[in-house]
């Protein structure tokens, strides 16, 4: 009888550690030279943090370890727009991700960007980030609303938007993206 009880207790604690006790981790990794992409990253993090039971890690890409990438249930990447392209530093970051054995398969992925002007390539950069995530086998998603279908983006240097700042309407899209990613990550852990 003791042996059966001991076995039952062991299985119970094993099930707690394997099922439901692990809070999903949303990693928000960004590159920001001017500070605009960092501001958007903070909005994405605020949205993710609004979801109960989710851990959020907000880091510049040069501070993200492979261990943090592997532990994350969702990875949200932010880049400024460089001539309708992903910033070289962000592409180098993605190119450094572990690939062998497909450790990113079925992780959630999302993107956000900042660009200096209207039609300067925001959607192209978002799609390029999402395409890279698809190569890794990730499940990619867009933002909370139709106007954020590919993720969140901000225009930071052309009228009618004030140069050098990220306006509230764009921050709201960032929060919506973070919230949606965190909600889906949490639902997949149930």
pLDDT at 189: 83
pLDDT at 108: 98
pLDDT at 9: 40
Q: Which DSSP string do the residues of the chain spell out, in sequence order?
A: -HHHHHHHHHHHHHHHHHTT-S--EEEEEE--SSSHHHHHHHHHHHHHHTSTT-EEEEEEGGG--HHHHHH-SEEEEEEEEETTEE-HHHHHHHHTS--TT-TTTT-EEEEEEEESSTTSSHHHHHHHHHHHHHHTT-EE---SSGGGTTSEEEE-SSTTSPTTS--HHHHHHHHHHHHHHHHHHHHHH-
Considering the domain 22-189 in this protein, what is its CATH number? 3.40.50.360
How is the chain split into domains, by residue range? 22-189
All residue ranges of the chain with pLDDT < 70 are 1-21
Global pTM? 0.88
């Amino acid at each position: 009888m003791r042996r059966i009880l001991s076995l039952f207790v062991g299985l119970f604690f094993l099930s707690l550690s394997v099922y439901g006790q692990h809070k999903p981790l949303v990693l928000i990794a960004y590159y920001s030279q001017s500070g605009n992409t960092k501001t958007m990253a903070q909005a994405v993090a605020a949205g993710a943090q609004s979801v109960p039971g989710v851990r959020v890690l907000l880091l510049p890409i040069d501070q993200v370890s492979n261990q943090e990438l592997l532990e994350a249930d969702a990875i949200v990447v932010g880049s400024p727009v460089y001539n309708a392209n992903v910033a070289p530093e962000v592409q180098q970051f993605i190119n450094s991700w572990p690939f062998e054995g497909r450790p990113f398969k079925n992780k959630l992925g999302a993107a956000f960007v900042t660009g200096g002007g209207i039609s300067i390539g925001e959607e192209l950069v978002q799609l390029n980030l999402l395409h890279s995530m698809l190569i890794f086998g990730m499940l990619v998603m867009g933002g909370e609303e139709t106007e954020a279908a590919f993720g969140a983006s901000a225009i930071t240097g052309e009228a009618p938007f004030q140069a050098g700042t990220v306006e509230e309407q764009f921050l709201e899209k960032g929060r919506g993206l973070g919230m949606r990613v965190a909600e889906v990550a949490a639902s997949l852990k149930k």
